[in-house]
Amino acid sequence: MTKSADTHCPYCALQCAMTLTTPAVLTPASEPGSVPVPAESAALAAADATLKAPLLEAPLDVQGRDFPTNRGGLCRKGWTSATLLNHPGRVTEPLLKGADGVHRPIGWDQALALVTTAVKDTQARYGKDAVGVFGGGGLTNEKAYMLGKFARLALGTSRIDYNGRFCMSSAAAAGMRAFGLDRGLPFPLADLDAASTIMMLGSNVAETMPPFVQHLQGARDAGGLIVVDPRRSATAKFTADGGGLHLQPLPGTDLTLLLGLSHVIIHEGLADEEFIAARTTGYAAVVRSVNAFWPERVQSLTGVPAELIRETARRLADGAGKGGSYILTGRGVEQHVDGTDTATAAINLSLLLGLPGSRRSGYGTLTGQGNGQGGREHGQKADQLPGYRKITDPAARAHMAGVWGVPEETIPGPGLPAVQLLKSLGQPGGVRCLFVHASNIAVASPDANAVIAGLRSLDFLVVCDFFMSETAAEADLILPVLQWAEEEGTLTNLEGRVLRRRRALQPPAGARSELWIMARLAEALGAPSTYSEDPETVFEELRLASAGGHADYSGIDYAMLDRGEAAYWPYPVGSTGTPRLFLDAFAHAGGKAVMTPVTPRRRRTPAGPPVGDATAPAAKTMTLITGRLLEHYQSGAQTRRVSELLASQPEARLQIHPAAAAVMGITEGAFVSVANERGEVFCRAELSTAIRPETVFLPFHFPELESANRLTEAATDPISGMPEFKFNKVWVRAVATGLQNSVLQTSEAS
pLDDT in tens, 67-103: 999 999 999 999 999 999 999 999 999 999 999 999 9
Same domain? For 451 and 387 the reply is yes
Residue 582's pLDDT is 98
DSSP state of 352: H
Same domain? For 319 and 421 the reply is no
Residue 407's pLDDT is 98
**229, 372, 493 from 251: Cα distances, Å:** 8, 25, 29
Q: How many domains does the chain have?
A: 4
Q: Is the peptide bond before 617 cis (omega within 30 degrees of 0)?
A: no
Same domain? For 60 and 154 the reply is no
Domain membership flag for residue 518: yes
Domain membership flag for residue 109: yes
**70, 663, 687 from 675: Cα distances, Å:** 40, 17, 18
Among 20, 19, 18, 25, smallest CA distance to 1 is for: 25
Domain membership flag for residue 203: yes
DSSP string of 613-667? TTTSTT-EEEEEEEE--TT--TTSTTGGGSHHHHHHS-S-EEEE-HHHHHHHT--
Decide which of 366, 388, 416 is a domain's last residue: 366
Amino acid identity, position 133: V
Amino acid identity, position 328: L
CATH assignment at residue 217: 3.40.228.10
End-to-end CA distance of the chain: 48
Residue 529's pLDDT is 97
CATH assignment at residue 629: 2.40.40.20
Are the CB atoms for 732 and 674 separated by under 8 Å? Answer: yes
- Mind listing the pLDDT tens digit for each residue in 129-138? 999 999 999 9
Q: Is the peptide bond before 54 cis (omega within 30 degrees of 0)?
A: yes
- Average of per-residue pLDDT values in the chain: 92
β strands within 425-494, DSSP E: 433-437, 460-465, 477-480, 489-492
Q: What percent of the chain has pLDDT over 90?
A: 89
Mean pLDDT of the region 394-411: 98
If one counts every other C-beta atom within 10 angstroms of the C-beta of residue 453, the result is 12
Same domain? For 384 and 461 the reply is yes
How confident is residue 525, by pLDDT bands cut at 50, 70 and 90? very high
How confident is residue 43, by pLDDT bands cut at 50, 70 and 90? very low
Domain membership flag for residue 576: no
How confident is residue 420, by pLDDT bands cut at 50, 70 and 90? very high
Residue 200 φ/ψ region, left for φ over 0, alpha for ψ in the -120 to 50 degree band, beta for the rest: beta
Domain membership flag for residue 547: no
Are the CB atoms for 132 and 435 separated by under 8 Å? Answer: yes
Residue 182's pLDDT is 95
Domain that holds residue 667: 620-749
In whole angstroms, give the CA distance from residue 4 to residue 2. Answer: 7
DSSP string of 117-180? HHHHHHHHHH-GGGEEEEE-TTS-HHHHHHHHHIIIIIS--S-EEEGGGGTTHHHHHHHHHHHS
Mean pLDDT of the region 475-494: 98
Residue 689 CB-half CA count within 13 A: 1
What are the phi and psi torsion angles at 219 (to 5°)?
A: -65, -35
pLDDT higher than 90, residue 117: yes
pLDDT higher than 60, residue 607: no
Same domain? For 251 and 324 the reply is yes
Q: Report the range out of 23-27, 177-181, 364-368 with the highest average pLDDT.
A: 177-181
pLDDT higher than 70, residue 46: no
Residue 22's pLDDT is 82
Same domain? For 18 and 156 the reply is no
How confident is residue 37, by pLDDT bands cut at 50, 70 and 90? very low
In whole angstroms, give the CA distance from residue 467 to residue 120. Answer: 28
Mean pLDDT of the region 580-584: 97
How confident is residue 56, by pLDDT bands cut at 50, 70 and 90? very low
Is 737 buried (19+), middle (13-18) or exposed (0-12) by CB count in 10 A? Answer: exposed
pLDDT higher than 80, residue 725: yes
Cα Rg of the chain, angstroms: 25
Residue 24's pLDDT is 53
Decide which of 366, 390, 421 is a domain's last residue: 366
Are the CB atoms for 597 and 263 separated by under 8 Å? Answer: no
Among 697, 679, 683, smallest CA distance to 733 is for: 683
In whole angstroms, give the CA distance from residue 438 to residue 635. Answer: 11
Mean pLDDT of the region 394-421: 98
Same domain? For 417 and 525 the reply is yes
**75, 77, 78, 84 alpha-carbon torsion, rounded to 10°:** 160
Same domain? For 105 and 38 the reply is no
Residue 368's pLDDT is 87
Q: Among 19-28, 130-139, 319-328, 549-558, where is mean pLDDT lowest?
A: 19-28
Query: How long is the chain?
Result: 750
Among 59, 47, 26, 127, smallest CA distance to 89 is for: 47
How confident is residue 750, by pLDDT bands cut at 50, 70 and 90? very low
DSSP state of 331: H
Same domain? For 343 and 410 the reply is no
Same domain? For 360 and 381 the reply is no
Residue 630's pLDDT is 95
Domain membership flag for residue 214: yes
Domain membership flag for residue 549: no
Same domain? For 280 and 315 the reply is yes
Decide which of 349, 366, 383 is a domain's last residue: 366
pLDDT higher than 80, residue 40: no
Residue 456's pLDDT is 98
In whole angstroms, give the CA distance from residue 439 to residue 463. Answer: 9
Domain membership flag for residue 590: no
pLDDT higher than 70, residue 31: no
- Mind listing the pLDDT tens digit for each residue in 675-721? 999 999 999 999 999 999 999 999 999 999 999 999 999 999 999 99
CATH assignment at residue 426: 3.40.50.740
Mean pLDDT of the region 238-265: 96
Mean pLDDT of the region 312-340: 95
pLDDT higher than 90, residue 1: no
More confident residue, 746 or 669: 669
pLDDT higher than 70, residue 27: no
Are the CB atoms for 418 and 165 separated by under 8 Å? Answer: yes
Residue 54's pLDDT is 33
Mean pLDDT of the region 626-652: 96
Mean pLDDT of the region 277-293: 98
Same domain? For 686 and 729 the reply is yes
CA max distance for the chain:
71
Are the CB atoms for 542 and 553 separated by under 8 Å? Answer: yes
Q: Among 198-202, 353-357, 474-478, 606-610, where is mean pLDDT lowest?
A: 606-610
What's the pTM?
0.93
Among 546, 587, 552, 549, smallest CA distance to 568 is for: 552
Sorted by sequence, the CB contacts under 8 Å of residue 224 that are 6+ apart come out as: 195, 196, 197, 198, 244, 315, 319, 325
How confident is residue 389, by pLDDT bands cut at 50, 70 and 90? very high
In whole angstroms, give the CA distance from residue 164 to residue 40. Answer: 25
If one counts every other C-beta atom within 10 angstroms of the C-beta of residue 271, the result is 20
How confident is residue 323, by pLDDT bands cut at 50, 70 and 90? confident
